[in-house]
Amino acid sequence: MTTQRFGKLRRFRFNLPQRIAAGLLLLFLAQGLWLTSRQTLTDRDYQYARCGRETWERPEALPGYYTSCGNIHDGILAYRLAGLPLTLNLLVERGLDHFRKPEDRVVQTTGEVSTWELRHQMTHVLLLLRLPFLLAGCILGGALWWVTRRLYGNLGGYTALALYCFTPAVIRACVRPDVEVLAALGVYAGVYTCIGVAHAMQGPRRKWRPRIVLLIAAFGTAAAAHIAALPVTALLGLALMLWVADGRRSQVLPMVLAAAAGALAVVFACYGFLPDAFSYVFRSSAGFLWFSADPAKRYFSSLENAGVALAAAAALLLYLALRRSRYFGNTAPLLCAALCMTLVMTGAPGSPWMWAVPFLLTFIGGVYADAYEGPRGRMVLGAAAALVALQMVLCLLSLPGMLGS
């Protein structure tokens, strides 16, 4: 058994493809850290910091309410992640107080002391607030790279990941406490884990279990990030599983329902197993969705997204023109992107079009990977490199403007 485990570890190689992907993600992280170093604390930061800390330290801040922000009904995970580094930092500072002079201690009294009243004594508060969301953006980029490289090869993975790392909307979502990058991660991981489970269902049952556990974790991330993301993920995953799981379709619906039930258990845990706070999720209108073409129009008409928009238009033309590109691996992300790009929230603030971005980039990477192998592969590769360079320049030029957004 030990030999097998070490054998699995030895299969991982940090070769040139992985190094290039890591370098792109480091460029993505560098942009986020550059923005963070030049930002100032906002009222939104104070809200997420205060209420996020209360979810860890004082779950019942006010009688009848989960936190002083009220009963959080749309996305508890963002508050949890925003408050966790601050809570851990305060615990560390309290421990270090035992080695400080009384006048230099962070906690001067025996009562609860707000981090924000003593922010001049706590360093890197703004970075601590944003670090979980920057890491979530890097994980989403890693998931995008893993899916596209596995499906389309190195060049397809490079194309998708390079466009992702220089997409201003993604960077903007990672440099402020928000639910969107977390929801995008949950939806993308949930849908592709569903596809992985459907493929595993063609094999022995012993291979199902780890993928089902991963599916529950992905559904749970989507649901805890924003409750509206759970039905979207479940419906998309169900449709794609029915498409793939030939001969096992009778088992698909029970599996998706079990994963959705597990996701609700994850959300219940995020609310500290408090029934009243958890029940408010179902008494609010946070899960209401409708359809509109406005998000797609705004995204594709924005100058900062011109490189992605041109790449998407060219990929769609190639998809329609080349028969070899019209297969499940390209059609699935296209349908997911089209659906998510047209969703709008009517009961709570949110940007479901952000959930479409990784699917859109997956589609672009897949179609371009097919074109790279065609008779004019070098020309297509040069055109793709030019579009990536254009998007890179537009993204870097838009970074200063993100400081005020």
Encode pLDDT of 86-117 as tens digits.
888 888 877 877 777 776 666 665 555 554 44
pLDDT at 240: 96
Please tell me the pTM assigned to this model: 0.92
Per-residue confidence at 1, pLDDT binned at 50, 70, 90? very low
pLDDT digits (tens, 9 = 90+) for 256-306: 999 999 999 999 999 888 888 888 888 788 788 999 999 999 999 999 999
- Residue 19 to residue 32: CA distance in whole angstroms: 20
Mean pLDDT, the chain, rounded, equals 88
pLDDT exceeds 70 at position 77 = yes
Per-residue model confidence as pLDDT tens digits over 310-347: 999 999 999 999 888 999 999 999 999 999 999 999 87
> Which pLDDT belongs to residue 3?
47
Provide the pLDDT for residue 42. 87
Query: Which of 10-24, 115-129, 222-236 has maximum average pLDDT?
Result: 222-236
- Report how far residue 323's alpha carbon sits from residue 173's, in angstroms, rounded to the nearest whole number: 36
The predicted pLDDT at position 9 comes to 46
pLDDT band at 250 (very low <50, low <70, confident <90, very high): confident
Residues 219-229: what's their mean pLDDT? 95
Q: What is the pLDDT of residue 123?
A: 61
pLDDT for residue 276: 83
Q: Is the pLDDT of residue 206 over 80?
A: no
* Residue range 134-162, pLDDT digits in tens: 999 999 999 999 999 999 999 999 999 99
* CB contact at 8 A, 171 and 395: yes
Tell me the pLDDT tens digit for each residue of 376-401.
Answer: 889 999 999 999 999 999 999 999 98
Does the pLDDT value for residue 254 go beyond 70? yes
Tokens of 323: 């028969």
The pLDDT value given to residue 136 = 97
Cα–Cα dist 166/388, whole Å: 8
